[in-house]
Amino acid sequence: MNMSDVQLPMKLIGIQIFHGWKWKMKISNKDWPFKKGKEVTLYWMQSPKMEGESKQWVITAIFKQDAEPIPVKLPWGLLPYLRIGRVYVDGVRGQAASNLLQRDIKFQQTVRPINKRAGDVIPRTSYPLNVSSNLAQMCVYIKNGSETLIIPCIEIIRAYLCPNKTMCNAVLDPIGLQQIASVRALSNQKMELQFTNSTPVNLLKSSEFINKIAHILTDGNLKNTWNSVWNSLNHPHKEVIDCITPDLLNAQWTVLGLYTGSGFLVTEILKIEQKTTFPFQMIDVLHPKLVNQDVGGSQHGGRIINRNFPLNVEASLTQKSPKNFRNPRMIVDQIVIFQTGNNIKINRIFSDLNNSSNTLKKKVTRRVRMDDRATEEISFYDVAGTGNVQAAEFNNLNGEIDGKLSPCFHEFARAIQYMGQSRGYQVDYVEESIPYFLEENRDYLLVRIKARYRCVWILEMDQLQSNSTLIFIAKNDEKTTGEAMAKHLIEKFLSPRGWDKEGIQKIIGMRVRWAKHTTSFMISWGERLGNKVNDLDIVRI
């Protein structure tokens, strides 16, 4: 069935999907206490603590503003974004402070790291920590040849174990590693890495992430480091985070830091290269949402990546600073490289949707009327073209959706498509493609709907953090207004905690609605979005 065959019961309503922009991660306005445009430097970090009614892990970051230390409480999940010695403006991380040196450190012989209080190894004259809560934090004290190194334990944890929010949260959970993945040997040369349903499937685009998980699960030394983090906080007589330093023999670090009276203080580990042994040459990677698309191009109602998703997409190694930063210096973002002496091949194993009846069960939800046909019981799989009911309603644009949009938006696009067909909307996909960026960048899609009385906008984020869909109207209906408003909403009101709904509601000249993501199939989703659109269409601004 072509769109021209659809009988439009009301005034033609146009839908356009506009550009998805690259969005850099930032600390939300709600958590950011400093004035707009003010440069502050992250000076120190304290151990995470459980706070609030929901018992969430919170970290205290000490920023310096005009030489004055300002403590700021932030979600623990932001640790991968927090780097001691970096300059931040409006919550956006920039380059290193001008007093820091970048250098390489080689560990060519066995060293014996000792954990000591910061107050015992960092001179107050060269790097004053002042208050007892800062002085009590643990540091790793290392004699490496003729020099002495001092590294905050929390930086060891960040650099070796926490490249993203998922691993950051897992390291403070006694069963966190099991909640990410499990491993089993298939042969002397091959292992299987089974990721859980709770692990964001988009992380599997990164071979670096897969390698890190595989090494932690199979390397007793790294696993001891992982387990030591939770054990330190679970100790009845300790309140500061601690860790066992991984074996450093043959490792080379690229670091930022400064010389103090007692040694070189490492404020940030930028890069780790280390020769190590890995018992396998091949890794089979499995995930419940790693599913092949069927012939028609449709997919199951989860965040699923098809067989053609780009492999080995790694996090960007460079990051631009805001224009108002002084003395910009190009610094690479931290990356860990394990050199095993052999090339490890990663096979991402896709299961066939039609053959996965043991894990993907058919759910009949309700009766719906399709065009002028008799009412039939259908499930999501029928609508998607994998059940017994012919899925002509959606097949006509499947190729266009799959060819032009990032896989994480396919399900959303089909919900919009159903909404357009059922309510008489004309759907026009104008976006060529949306690039995918890992962890510190997010994809999003903006849909413009010309309703009866005004333009309604639907803003959909990629679902790395399960953000609700945002539907909004602006006083000015111009296309550029909607696009500018979408950018503003993302930059100012979206954080790892989600949308700042209270802040958005205060914006003058716009009205908003939110639509939560549920387990319902795309027809129900399209209906809910359509109801929100109709609601905003008649609201006064």
Q: Report pLDDT for 356.
A: 42
Q: Report pLDDT for 276.
A: 77
**Which ranges of the chain have pLDDT less than 50?**
1-13, 19, 21-23, 294-333, 354-399, 428-440
Measured over all CA atoms, what is the biggest interatomic distance in the chain, rounded to whole angstroms?
Answer: 84
Q: Which residues contact 328 (CB under 8 A, 6 or more apart)?
A: 94, 95, 321
Burial of 198 (0-12, 13-18, 19+ CB in 10 A): exposed
Rounded Cα gap, residues 469 and 498, in angstroms: 11
Q: Which residues contact 230 (CB under 8 A, 6 or more apart)?
A: 171, 172, 173, 174, 176
Provide the 3-class DSSP secondary structure of residue 125.
coil
Q: Which residues contact 99 (CB under 8 A, 6 or more apart)?
A: 258
Rounded Cα gap, residues 368 and 431, in angstroms: 31
Among candidates 17, 151, 32, which has minimal Cα distance to 93?
A: 32
Among candidates 252, 249, 245, which has minimal Cα distance to 104?
A: 252
Among candidates 52, 61, 106, 97, which has minimal Cα distance to 79?
A: 61
Burial of 24 (0-12, 13-18, 19+ CB in 10 A): middle
The mean pLDDT of the chain is 74
Q: Report pLDDT for 193.
A: 95
Q: Report pLDDT for 342.
A: 61
Sign of CA dihedral 207, 213, 215, 218: negative
How many helices (H) and strands (E) in the chain? 13, 31
Provide the 3-class DSSP secondary structure of residue 197.
coil
Q: For the segment 78-107, what is each residue's pLDDT rounded down to a tens digit?
A: 999 999 999 999 998 999 999 999 999 999
Q: Report pLDDT for 143.
A: 96
Q: Report pLDDT for 235.
A: 77
Q: Domains of the chain: which residue ranges?
A: 3-25+396-537, 39-89+91-348
Q: Report pLDDT for 129.
A: 96
Among candidates 532, 536, 509, which has minimal Cα distance to 455?
A: 536
Token pair of 144 as six digits = 């490496």
- Residue matched to tokens 């839908």: 15
Long-range contacts of 214-219, Cβ-Cβ distance < 8 Å, separation of 24 or more: 214/183, 214/278, 214/280, 214/283, 214/344, 215/276, 215/278, 215/338, 216/161, 216/177, 217/177, 217/181, 217/182, 217/183, 217/193, 218/183, 218/191, 218/278, 218/279, 218/280, 219/276, 219/278
pTM of the entire predicted model: 0.63
